[in-house]
Amino acid sequence: MEYRQAGVDIDAGNETVRRIRALAKSTFTPAVLSDIGSFGGLFRLAADRYRDPVLVSSADGVGTKLKIAFMTGRHDTIGADLVNHCVNDVLVQGAEPLFFLDYLATGRLLPDVAEQIVGGIARACRENGCALIGGETAEMPGFYADGEYDLAGFIVAAADRAALIDGHTIAPGDVLVGLPSSGLHTNGYSLARRIFFDAAGWRPETFVPELGATLADALLATHRSYLPQVRPLLNEAGVRGLAHITGGGITENLPRILPAGCAAGVDRRAWSVPPIFELLRVLGRVADHEMYRTFNMGIGLIVVCAPAAVERVVEALARSGETGAVRIGQVEPGDRAVRYL
């Protein structure tokens, strides 16, 4: 017998690597010292750029948003979702990305699909100034359903130790500034699919007037990277904390950066919740508290800043192209929880 008869096509694997090599190399910076195909990726840290360098790392996936890619046959944006999610996770600690690795596992390797996925990863890496230096493509017959795959990303970033942002200086009276999301980002898709496809009976190609788009277009909207807008704030003394609003929504993510003795008061009237979330709430008859701990509700990142720094923060965001920043509440005495107004 041959490996191919057991479901693993080495030739397809080699063809996949051939296709993605150029995509990955398009993200390389002078700090990359290895080529795609090495046993390990080599990256030279420019230590002279930092006084006391700290490496910040994160690993994540895109959850069941993958199911939308499977249903539509559209795989060119899911990789960008992965990269941007990981970039935001290290950004909120004050770090800028250095390099990225991906893990793609599937039951049957299709070079065309893999090329689309990695193309999205490479595009987002270039946009974020992050080198894609390696990864793993695993063909696992019998483990995944035909046409399905799983995807994970691993990022390493760096910051000066003195410039790390961990929320320890947050105090009652500090202001919460919210930055808009571009949709569901990469969270809440299990509930969204249950509501839109099972309860409402819609299909990916269904045009939804309230959204001005097909359901597929709305659900595949790319997870934003906040790096271009937030980078100018990393050296702003008045910025005391940053929270990426992912799984768990504002309810679960904002408390992660609050020190003991602090809570948050969030005014839900401060911003307009995008129509897709209102559709989910109505069609699924979802309670408000469940909506705010499942979805981002239109706020993808929160900046916590000193009252005296609010104007500087909003102006800096505007200069970087972020015109949707809005004051959504403040820090108040309490026990690391969110109170909605």
Domains and CATH numbers, the chain: 3-163 (3.30.1330.10), 175-340 (3.90.650.10)
Reported as a single tens digit per residue, the pLDDT across 118-177 is: 999 999 999 999 999 999 999 998 899 888 999 999 999 999 999 999 999 999 999 999
Checking if the pLDDT of 4 tops 70, the result is: no
Checking if the pLDDT of 202 tops 80, the result is: yes
CB neighbourhood size of 212 (10 A): 10
Percentage, residues of the chain above pLDDT 70: 97
* CA 154 distance to own-chain centroid: 12
Average pLDDT, the chain: 94
Contacts of residue 152, defined as CB under 8 A and 6 or more positions apart, other chains included, come to: 59, 60, 61, 82, 102, 103
Residue 1, pLDDT score:
65
Structure tokens, 240: 């005391």
Of 209, 212, 71, 66, which is closest to residue 150 (Cα–Cα)? 66
Residue 244, pLDDT score:
98
Percentage, residues of the chain above pLDDT 90: 87
d(CA 322, CA 100): 25
Is residue 124 within 8 A of residue 264, CB to CB? The reply is: no
pLDDT tier at 45, thresholds 50, 70, 90? very high
Whole-structure pTM value? 0.94
